[in-house]
Amino acid sequence: MKPIFVAIAGLCIFAANILPTCLHAQTTPIWPDTFLTRVEALALVETLNATLLAARSATFTLDQWCADHKLSSDTKIHAQLIRGVEKPVTAEQRQRLEIDERESVKFRHVELKCGDRTLSEADNWYVPSRLTAEMNTLLATTDTPFGRAIAALKPFRRTFAVDVLWKPLDDGWEKRPPTADHPQQSLAIPPRLFQHRALVIKPDLKPISEVAETYTSENLAFAPPH
């Protein structure tokens, strides 16, 4: 019977070593470096960008993106609050927030996550006096996303700056022959795709906060459409 037990033990060791690799391969699909894949990546990045620009809340937009693309079994976005990061509010930001130098401003740095995937990194300067006491407690003591914490105020966003950090195809690509395909190679997708800077505003037109959001390559952590 000893050879059987030895064989079983060997299989268990093999499985323990190979399973994490298999799981990683399943959760991190490879995008081949082809012209078609680049077009698809361009369309997806521009779709996400446009959807966020038109949305009232980045949090709820990412909820839907996470669910639509099955990025996690838990599709409700949660915020991981990064403590110890401080970025003082500037005079220019105070002007955009329509407050004077005496008004208190709180800073929050979070990673918005779909499961264990970080879809966005966000800096947030917010005005506590324009929120309820309950909202301020949530933001100070929990990892609740800002958009979810203040949802009862029915705010909207006014984006004032967009910075595209990655273009799967160079400008003018449609006027030139397609780029060469390298299907055996993976498409090099950088960690950051684009950035937004926006004001979050109450229905009475008073700004609640200014946010600087960087959207990551984890938004494309699914198999390419074709």
Question: Is 24 inside a domain boundary?
Answer: no
Measured CA to CA, the distance from residue 222 to residue 61 in angstroms comes to: 17
4 belongs to a structural domain: no
pLDDT band with cut points at 50, 70 and 90 for residue 27: low
- For 43-91, the pLDDT digits (tens) are 999 999 999 999 999 999 999 999 999 999 988 999 999 988 899 999 9
- pLDDT tens, residue by residue, 118-161: 999 999 999 999 999 999 999 999 989 999 999 999 999 999 99
166-201 pLDDT, tens per residue?
999 999 998 899 889 999 999 999 999 999 999 999
Cα 89 versus chain centre, distance: 23
Per-residue pLDDT, 28:
66
**Token pair for residue 80?**
């991981």
208 within 8 A of 147, measured Cβ to Cβ? no
Q: What is the pTM for the complete model shown?
A: 0.83
Q: Say if CB 206 and CB 198 are below 8 A apart.
A: no
**Residue 62 forms part of a structural domain:** yes
User: What six digits make up the tokens of 166?
Assistant: 């990655």
Q: Is residue 66 part of a domain?
A: yes
Neighbours of 17 (CB within 10 A): 9
Residue 8 in domain: no
Distance separating alpha carbons of residues 211 and 165, to the nearest angstrom: 18
Q: Per the structure, how many domains does the chain have?
A: 1
The beta strands (E) that lie in 26-149 are given as 32-33, 78-81, 106-114, 117-126
Q: Where are the strands (E) in the chain, listed by range?
A: 32-33, 78-81, 106-114, 117-126, 156-164, 182-186, 192-201, 207-216
pLDDT at 163: 97
Domain that holds residue 53: 32-173+180-220
Q: Is 79 helix (H, G, I), strand (E, B) or coil?
A: strand
- Please report, for the domain that includes residue 198, its CATH number: 3.40.1410.10
pLDDT of 28-45, one tens digit each? 688 999 999 999 999 999
Is the pLDDT higher at 7 or at 174?
174
For residue 164, CA distances in Å to 143, 173, 194, 196 come to: 28, 16, 4, 9
Summarize pLDDT for 196-224 with one digit per residue, the tens.
999 999 999 999 999 999 999 999 999 98
Report whether pLDDT(16) > 60.
Answer: no
Q: Is residue 25 part of a domain?
A: no
Note whether residue 3 is domain-resident: no
Residue 22, in any domain of the structure = no
